[in-house]
Amino acid sequence: MGLKKLLKFFFYGGIDRKIYKLYHRDIADEMTLILRPLCAFVAVAFLFFGIYGCIRGESVGVVLNVIVCLLAIIMFLFTKILPDVSSHLSNVCTYVSMMFMLFYAIVSGCIFNKPHQPVVTFMVLIVSIPILMVDVPWHIMLMNGIAVLGFIITDYFTKDANTHSLDTRNAIVFYLLSCFVLPFLVHSKIEGIVNKRQLEKDRDIDNLTGLFYRNAASKLVMNNLLEKPFQVAAMYMIDVDNFKHINDTYGHAVGDKAISDVAECIKKIASEKMVAARYGGDEFILFISNLQNKQEAEMYADKLISLVASSDINKMPEMKENPITLSIGIALYPQDSKSYDKLLVKSDRALYKAKNQGKNRYSLY
């Protein structure tokens, strides 16, 4: 194994940096899934520790345990909104939580234990936390390294010489052990996330157009309608005019090119507030949320028709006499309906109105 490959393995778990960046959000979400039950466990555990300390009359220990319990509860509640924030902020919250656990292990092991008692909890965390986490190895190694350094310094001032020597050796050995095992664990976990997302992509994404399949788009739109009420939104049913004639006259290769180019035009106007899908052979659906008014919905339809008119497929010599055009039906939320199924039906009716009016146009329901 060359030095470059070895460094990549230790710093990125053997995966390509571009792949890591591509799936950074998924990796952060996986960390959040781990953090949530961990926070719940810590809250319950330290609640019991607090009750036990109260029974034994350990006032300082009770206060510390209650503080940890409350912080764990706050962190547990906060993890519910982490999927909605940036992946970087999500990761920061996870690392802060892990650092707090390590800090508590240092304080409880070095300050509250007797000078001759070796520290155990911190050693367990040094090995177990990297096993739980999912991120590039050097981030976790750096966090653990800072914690080990803080532990050795604190241990020096609170333990006797023999115990400090033992604790230092243990901390270094456990840290090096976690550094050795970590890249292999991370590689396995991230590879699993990448493979899972790739399977989901193959299941949900149409190969020819790169747009969602009908079922995947339906779930996304229905979730949007349930979770985020909009002032105005629009459902577009889009049909390629005379597609059968194009297929029969110029062949399936040209037909596929037409479908692909229309999809590219849809992507050009698409943004985070849009869901686009290939609905059938030559039909597409487009859902746009957070519109200001009906006029903005009409503007997007006009823009899409113009983009298709100037697309690559229409620059082909054989397409001059029969250029690719679109007919579009629009149903508005909440004016026409608040239901996904009804919006779909009404946009389909509006589509047939546009076709009956001469094609190459849009029509409102």
Q: What is the pLDDT of residues 301-339, one digit of tens each?
A: 999 999 998 888 888 887 777 888 999 999 998 889 888
Q: Say if residue 45 is in the same domain as residue 191.
A: yes
Q: What is the pTM of this model?
A: 0.59
What is the rounded CA–CA span in Å between residue 33 and residue 18?
A: 23
- The residue type of 34 is I
Decide: 115 and 158 in contact? Cβ < 8 Å. Answer: yes
pLDDT of residue 64: 74
- Bridge-based pairing state of the strands 326-333 and 233-240: antiparallel
Q: Say if residue 189 is in the same domain as residue 218.
A: no
pLDDT of residue 320: 78
Cis peptide upstream of residue 334 (ω within 30 degrees of 0): yes
When comparing pLDDT for 20 and 41, which is higher? 41
Q: Tell me the per-residue pLDDT of 247-279, one tens digit each, with 9 for 90 and over.
A: 888 888 888 888 999 988 988 886 667 888 888
Q: Say if residue 123 is in the same domain as residue 221.
A: no
**Which residue, 204, 229, 264, sits at the end of a domain?**
204
User: Three-class SS of residue 284?
Assistant: strand
Is pLDDT of 39 > 70? yes
Return the bridge partners of 277, or none.
Answer: 212, 285
Range list of H helices, the chain: 3-12, 17-22, 24-56, 59-79, 87-107, 121-132, 137-158, 161-204, 214-227, 243-250, 252-269, 294-309, 340-356
Q: Say if residue 154 is in the same domain as residue 233.
A: no
**Which residue, 173, 204, 235, sits at the end of a domain?**
204
Q: Say if residue 15 is in the same domain as residue 65.
A: yes
Cα of 254 vs its chain's centroid, Å: 36
Q: Say if residue 217 is in the same domain as residue 166.
A: no
State the CATH number of the domain containing residue 258.
3.30.70.270
Mean pLDDT of the chain: 83
What is the rounded CA–CA span in Å between residue 67 and residue 293?
A: 50
**DSSP character at residue 205:** B
Quote the radius of gyration of the chain (alpha carbons, Å). 29
Q: Which of 100-114, 178-192, 350-364 has the highest mean pLDDT?
A: 350-364
pLDDT of residue 174: 92
The range of the structural domain enclosing residue 97 comes to 3-204
Domain tally, the chain: 2
Q: Say if residue 174 is in the same domain as residue 302.
A: no
Of 190, 186, 98, the residue nearest 143 (C-alpha): 98
Q: Say if residue 33 is in the same domain as residue 111.
A: yes
Q: Say if residue 192 is in the same domain as residue 318.
A: no
Is pLDDT of 83 > 60? no
Q: Tell me the per-residue pLDDT of 206-259, one tens digit each, with 9 for 90 and over.
A: 888 888 888 888 887 887 777 666 678 899 999 999 888 888 888 888 888 889
Q: Say if residue 167 is in the same domain as residue 49.
A: yes
Is pLDDT of 169 > 90? yes
Is pLDDT of 162 > 90? yes
When comparing pLDDT for 11 and 145, which is higher? 145
Is pLDDT of 286 > 60? yes
Is pLDDT of 82 > 60? no
**Which residue, 204, 228, 247, sits at the end of a domain?**
204
Paired tokens of 84: 């909605």
